[in-house]
Structure 1
C-alpha cells in the first residue's frame, strides 16, 4: 500500500467501527433550521418539542451522571406502560406489555437551574404528544413542553468536563458580543454521544437561547 493511502484506509476502518467506539447511529434530533452564523457559531431556530427532564443537586458531573440514570430509567421501561425508548434505535418492550417502540432523540441537555442545581433533559421523538407519551413512574421525572426557540450553538469535541464546558461557553458568549444576537438566558451544554465514544469523535455543544439584538426575549 502506498504511504499516502494509509491514512484514508485507517479512517475508513475507524468509521466502520462506529458502533464499537460509541458513535451515535441514526439518532434523530429535534427539528431546527439554521438562520444565521457568527463565525463557528450556528444560530438555530427550533420547533416546539417535548422533553423528559429532572433536576439534580450537586457538582456538574455528578448531576449529569445521576440525571442521566434517572431519565434512562424512564426511557428503558420506568413508566406506566413499560414502553422502552432506545438511545440509538427502537427497542421492543417487554412481552407482557402492549407492543410499542419509541426512538429517543439527541442531545442530552444540561443547564444550571440554581446554586448547585442542574436540569437534565432528554428530548422526545417528533410525532408524540403529552397525551401519547408514557407517564414516568419516578415523580422526579417530568414531561415538559419546550416552546419554539432560537439558540446559538458552538460545537466542540473531547471529554466534556466542567473546565472544557465553561471554556466553550465563554467562547460562545464572546462571539455573540459583536453580533446581531443577544443571549436570552444562561448558557447550557448539549451532549450527543455515549461516554465510551472516542474523545476526538465526540459532539458536544455550548448553547444559549438568543434573540435578535433589540428584540424582546420570548
Structure 2
C-alpha cells in the first residue's frame, strides 16, 4: 500500500549519502521517556490513535512516512518528518501530516501530550540503509553520516533524526531507514 511521503528535492548525491531540501510541512509529535528502541511503540500508538480519530473532531488523518524519532537536548531543532533522538532517555517522536494539511485544518488532539507543529523548509544530510530497527544500526549509520559530513565540509545545525518508512511486519532486508542531520542551506 502506497503511503504519502514528506516532499523533498535531492540537491546532491554521493551514494548512500544525500543532501535534501525539504518543503515546509506539519508534524504531530509527542515526547516519551525510555530507551531508544522501546519508546517507538509507546509513541507510535499515541500518534496512531490521533490520526485514527482520537481527536476533537473524530476525523481520520491519512498515514504518511516517515515516522521520525529524535532525542531531546537543550534546544529542540525543527525536525524532518519522522525521526528519533535521545538525551536523558527522552525522545521526540513525530508523524508527518499529509501535504494538504495545515495547522488550522488538522483536528486538535485529545491527548495533551500530542502537539501539532509547522516545520519550515530545511536542508538535511541523509544516509539511507536497510535492516533492523536497532540502536546499534542507527548509531553506526549516524557515525558514517557525521564522518561524510566532515569530509564534505558540512556543518550540522541540529541533532540527528532517525527516520523509518515501513510498518513493523516488513522484512528487515526490505526496510527503509534513514539518519538525517540538519545542515546550513
TM-score, length basis structure 1? 0.76
Residues 157, 200 of structure 1: 8 Å contact kept = yes
Q: State how many pairs are aligned.
A: 171
Residues 142, 179 of structure 2: 8 Å contact kept = yes
Residues 4, 63 of structure 2: 8 Å contact kept = yes
Could you list the runs of 4 or more consecutive aligned residues of structure 1 that deviate by over 3 angstroms after TM superposition? none
1:109 aligned residue: 68
Q: Give the whole-Å Cα distance in 1 for the aligned partners of 2:14 and 2:159.
A: 18
Which structure features the higher share of helix residues? 1
Q: Give the whole-Å Cα distance in 2 for the aligned partners of 1:162 and 1:29.
A: 24
- Residue number among 145, 157, 176 corresponding to 2:118 in the alignment: 145
- Residue number among 72, 79, 87 corresponding to 2:48 in the alignment: 72
2:133 aligned residue: 160
Deviations 1:11-46 (A, max 9, x none): xxxxxxxxxxxxxx2111111101112442110001
- Residue number among 12, 16, 36 corresponding to 1:36 in the alignment: 12
What SS class does the counterpart of residue 194 from structure 1 fall into?
Answer: coil
Residues 37, 133 of structure 2: 8 Å contact kept = no
1:171 aligned residue: 144
1:129 aligned residue: 102
State the shift of 1:188 in Å.
Answer: 1.3
State the shift of 1:200 in Å.
Answer: 0.5
Q: Give the whole-Å Cα distance in 2 for the aligned partners of 1:72 and 1:156.
A: 25
State the shift of 1:181 in Å.
Answer: 2.1
Q: Which has the larger radius of gyration?
A: 1
Higher normalized contact order (CA 8 Å, seq sep 6+, divided by chain length): 2
Residues 26, 118 of structure 2: 8 Å contact kept = yes
What SS class does the counterpart of residue 163 from structure 1 fall into?
Answer: helix
Deviations 1:24-69 (A, max 9, x none): x211111110111244211000111000000001111121111101
Residues 38, 176 of structure 1: 8 Å contact kept = no
- Residue number among 172, 176, 184 corresponding to 1:203 in the alignment: 176
Q: Give the whole-Å Cα distance in 2 for the aligned partners of 1:55 and 1:146.
A: 17
